[in-house]
Amino acid sequence: MATQAWAQSTEPQRVEITGTADPYQPPPSSAATKTDTPILLTPQSLQVVPRAVLNDQKALTLTDAVRNVAGVGADFGFNGSAQPLLILRGFQTTSMTASGNMSGMSSYYINGVKVQGVPLNMANVDAVEVVKGPASVLYGRSEPGGLVNVVPKALTAAPRLGLEQTVGQYDLSRTVLEGGGALNADKTVLGRAALSYDTSNSNRDFVENTLGAFSGTVAWVPGVDSRVALTVDHSAQKYRNDFGIPADGDRPANLPRSRQYNNSPDLSSFTSDSVLVDAQTRLASNWTLKGRLVSMRAKTHEVDVWPYRENYGLSGDTCDNTNGLTQLCRYYFYVRPQGRLTLDQATVDLVGDLQLAGLQHKLLAEVDSYSTRKTGDLYFTQVTSVDVYSPVVGTAPPLDTSAPIPVDDHSKWTSLTLQDQIAFGSGWHGVFALRHDITDALFSLTPGTPSNKQSFTTPRIGAVWEFMPNQSLYAQYQDSVAANNGRDPNGVALAAERARQVEVGWKQTALDGRLNTTVAVYDLVKRNRAYFFPDGSVTTIGAARSRGIEVDAIGQVSAQLAMIGSFTLLDAKVTQDPVYQGTRLANAAPRAGSLWGRWMFDEQWAAGAGVFFQGQREGDNANSFQLPGYGRVDAMASYAFRTGAGKGSVQFNLKNVFDKVYYSGSHPLVRDWIQPGAPRTASLTLRLDY
């Protein structure tokens, strides 16, 4: 019989992730509804990459994790490998419209909190959730392709102690020490702490990246109805960014795999401290009140040397590409050597279940206040150019701080969300939601510029039909909003970037809930898209459309075989623009996919392999060059053993087995920042758990 209420679905229960032998089973997720709704009954494509997959693939970055999900790719990043720029359904997760200097633009969510320009410690990640399509009705200002939410490892009452050490080529090293459990006899106070240190160089010239992180949580859990938790996090990253290589003609320049032109004499850095307090209590048998306070303070030191073929003539340097690509000019491009970043958020949720007019309702009411601000002067100076094909980079001069550029860079909004999930009976379910946002945002290099104040009301309507046990069809319409930060060349506040999406799909859980499959078809249009003038100013007059089919599957097919796979057909193009109309969106491959499997030979030995492929993609907004398609193969082998009262494992990973030359992404605004993929890279991991 079809499910009659949300909570009665046969959605599989969470399996705790502890090692390489863990099943490929996505844990329950509330990311698409902010309520305890089974994925099968969620009218939106929601994919979860569990810790077991991250362990087996040795996913050291967020880009490594999301490549398992259909419709997700990566753009050129500006702050080292720990801060990627992601692309969902053809759209970046960070708007390029008047969003300030491009450094520090990576955007994703940690436990439901939106962060931007913050390095991610993958050692403390339990799962990565990907909500496809617009999500601003629940999360506020966000790009329409979707969002990526990182779920930290959870508290447990059982005592835990873990040690992990990974070493590999190019000075790769990751050390993880974590532990936790009940802190008192009646197990009402739980704690967990994790400490990690990652360091890696690269096959690329001058590139470095280190990330140290600490996370600690203490929770009071007096019973099943109440919980209060305090979490503190600290991270410290140092890096010299990899700006990739330029295009020459319609393809990436034919250069050695090591070639890179950023040799800044100083490493950039990001140091952050955050405090999270979250609490919940059951007010009655069917009503729960949840609250959250988040505060983050960070210091940034952005001093990379940016290679760029255009000569702004600021230094008298003879950088001339009029007769073809020969040189790259280089700049401290709006760098912020003494920056500060603050983030504050307060959220209150009231969730309840009730019978009304003979129907079962799950209600959500949320009040949310969110604000971020960046301070610190910017600097724009030109330094010595470099020959593209025979570079002699020498020693880059230190940053000249004699001409600071003051900046006002802030964003805040206050929001109210109302959502009603209704079980109509006979397997039918509906979702109806409205969000009202009041926003105040600005990025301006002109002191005294008034901020851009706007308000929006956005709807979401969805339906799910569980037409037979463990299978459902769904449809959804949703609006999306991303409030702009700036003003046009005449000082007029930019119109908000808006979007709307229609999505239909099919979901199934098979093999007694062990195999989960989603097929989604969607049509997504983003309006008021940015147009950039040659002088760097911007207005919002364009539109782009993304249409596609996505297939995602993950599961434990048998006791021996686990798999995760994806496939995407994507048509993403500009539909309105004074210059680029009809062009395809950059970094949006018409065909892409992945397939990874792990085979357990016995209780000790396991091996896995997979392929990740992308078709040919356009490299920039003008479609002036293309990134060739590629297929990359990865593999792993592991051995598990007992060690006294604990257990351990040794795992060998080989990425890019056949040493394929490929390009993972490029920046859509220029022809000079194409990211080469890493060559064949080996690593070895020892893990001990007690």
Residue 104: predicted pLDDT = 63
- Take residue 197 and report the two structure tokens written for it: 């240190």
Please enumerate in sequence order all residues whose Cβ is within 8 A of that of 234, keeping only pairs 6 or more positions apart, or say none.
213, 214, 215, 272, 273, 274
- Take residue 124 and report the two structure tokens written for it: 């403390």
Residue 99: predicted pLDDT = 52
Q: Is the pLDDT of residue 572 over 50?
A: yes
Give 107-162 pLDDT, tens digit per residue. Answer: 889 999 988 888 888 989 999 999 999 998 999 888 899 999 999 998 999 999 99
- Take residue 519 and report the two structure tokens written for it: 């097929």
Top CATH class of 6-689 equals mainly beta
Residue 230: predicted pLDDT = 97
Please enumerate in sequence order all residues whose Cβ is within 8 A of that of 536, keeping only pairs 6 or more positions apart, or say none.
none
Q: Is the pLDDT of residue 22 over 70?
A: yes
Domain boundaries, the chain: 6-689
Whole-number Å distance between alpha carbons of 150 and 147:
10
Residue 195: predicted pLDDT = 96
Give 201-210 pLDDT, tens digit per residue. Answer: 899 999 999 9
The pLDDT of 417-429, averaged and rounded, is: 96
Q: How confident is the model at residue 569 (pLDDT cuts 50, 70, 90)?
A: very high
Q: Parallel, antiparallel, or unpaired for β 646-655 and 630-643? A: antiparallel
Q: How confident is the model at residue 101 (pLDDT cuts 50, 70, 90)?
A: low
Residue 184: predicted pLDDT = 96
The pLDDT of 381-397, averaged and rounded, is: 89
Whole-number Å distance between alpha carbons of 240 and 587:
24
**Arithmetic mean of pLDDT over the chain:** 91
Beta strands (DSSP E) in 254-338 are: 268-284, 287-301, 306-308, 327-335
Q: What percent of the chain has pLDDT over 70?
A: 95
Q: Is the pLDDT of residue 234 over 90?
A: yes
Residue 45: predicted pLDDT = 97
Whole-number Å distance between alpha carbons of 181 and 253:
54
